[in-house]
Amino acid sequence: MTASKPPNQDQDSPEQLLALLKWYRAAGVDLGVGDKPIDRFAHAHMSATSVKSESHSTPPSLPGQAFAPRPVSTSQSAPAPAPQATNADPEEAEKLAQGAGSLDELRKRLEKYEGCGLKLRATQMVFADGNPQAKIMLIGEAPGRDEDLQGKPFVGRSGQLLDRMLYAIGLDRTSVYIANTVPWRPPGNRTPSPLEISLCMPFLVRQVELVAPKIIVTLGAAATQTMFGEKLSILKTRGRWRDIKVGAHAAKAMPTLHPAFLLRQPVQKRQAWQDMLAIATLAEEMGLSGGDSD
């Protein structure tokens, strides 16, 4: 949730302002925004180092076509004094990501990447957790508040539930690798936009190529639609194995329900449990005994 500046802030005493802040916090407001919207992507288009033309900003469509962004409109852009311009050039992301020969290098390149505006508001990047040699990779939607503070995916309440789900089938973070569709927290925990996802997509694709998992599990609708490139209903597609090609890497993939959804709708845990059993069964059939198997 967001709050704009209170109208009579100048006349309020420090005590009143503190009380107001406390009230905001209790109401779930965790982000302050200005009175006027700023189109930071439009600003990036205007900056000397950014994209050459608007037609150039066609995002990569790999594999997330369902999230294929529409061109950014610059018609309403205020002459924004953005503190940091972003460089929304999808070709830059593609080049940076493809040039990474290891996960460490990919992480460093992503740290330097200025193309996605989410970075401006995030505390830090959330790259991955788990075992890079694992043959099972989980892909979530985006870091939340706890992940943003700790720099690791799935460490908040939904992460704790995810850990319990994994534990129930004999897995843990030493036997899986976990990443998200975007590595920075969207303000107020909103779903990342199609543009944000597509600007980060080349890094996720390369991450999958470098980890080379045999099994990919997409957690929730956003990750599922991003990875399969289709507008799929998570409730209809969950629990079904599909072949997936991510960049140069092929794997078996299954969508399942996002743990945050399960926290809101515990009645759906039965379905998630079936999915976990299916993952355990396939992992056994494939002879995947944990991190260092091949």
CB of 26 to ligand URA, least distance (A): 22
> CB of 152 within 8 A of CB of 176?
no
Tokens 């070709």 belong to which residue? 91
Min dist. Cβ of residue 129 to ligand URA (A): 8
Q: Which of 102, 147, 104, 158 is nearest to 124 (CA)?
A: 147
Which is nearer to ligand URA, 41 or 127 (by Cβ)?
127
Is residue 189 within 8 A of residue 145, CB to CB? The reply is yes
- Minimum distance between the CB of residue 48 and ligand URA, rounded to whole angstroms? 35
Site for ligand URA (CB under 6 A): which residue of 63, 64, 130, 144?
144
143 contacts ligand URA (rule: CB under 6 A): yes
Q: Is 94 or 129 the residue whose CB approaches ligand URA more closely?
A: 129
Q: How far is it, in rounded angstroms, from Cα 171 to Cα 163?
A: 8
Region of 21-29, 72-80, 143-151, 238-246 interacting with ligand URA (CB under 6 A): 143-151
Site for ligand URA in 160-199 (CB under 6 A): 180
Residue number closest to ligand URA, CB atom: 140
- Rounded to the nearest whole angstrom, what is the least distance from the CB of residue 141 to ligand URA in the complex? 4
Q: How far is the CB of 256 from ligand URA (least distance, A)?
A: 12
Query: Is 177:213 a contact under the CB 8 Å cutoff?
Result: yes
Count residues binding ligand URA (CB under 6 A): 12
Contact between residue 100 and residue 82 where contact means Cβ atoms under 8 Å apart: no
First to last CA, the chain: 45
- Is 140 near ligand URA (CB under 6 A)? yes
Pull the structure tokens for residue 57.
């900003």
Query: Shortest distance, CB of residue 231 to ligand URA, whole angstroms?
Result: 18
Fill in the amino acid letter for 178.
Answer: I
213 binds ligand URA (CB under 6 A): no
Nearest distance, CB of residue 207 and ligand URA, angstroms: 14
DSSP, collapsed to helix, strand or coil, labels residue 108 as helix
Binder among 44, 136, 137, 142 for ligand URA (CB under 6 A): 142
Say how far apart CA 21 and CA 29 lie, in whole Å.
Answer: 9
The 8-class DSSP code of residue 187 comes to G
Binding mask 241-260 for ligand URA (x = CB under 6 A): -------------------x
Exactly one of 39, 141, 148, 275 binds ligand URA (CB under 6 A); that residue is 141
**Side-chain-side CA neighbours of residue 254 (13 Å):** 21
Q: Residues 140, 179: contact at Cβ < 8 Å? A: yes
Q: Determine whether 255 is exposed, middle or buried from the number of CB atoms within 10 Å of its CB (0-12, 13-18, 19+).
A: buried
Residues at the interface with ligand URA (CB under 6 A): 140-144, 147, 153-154, 158-159, 180, 260
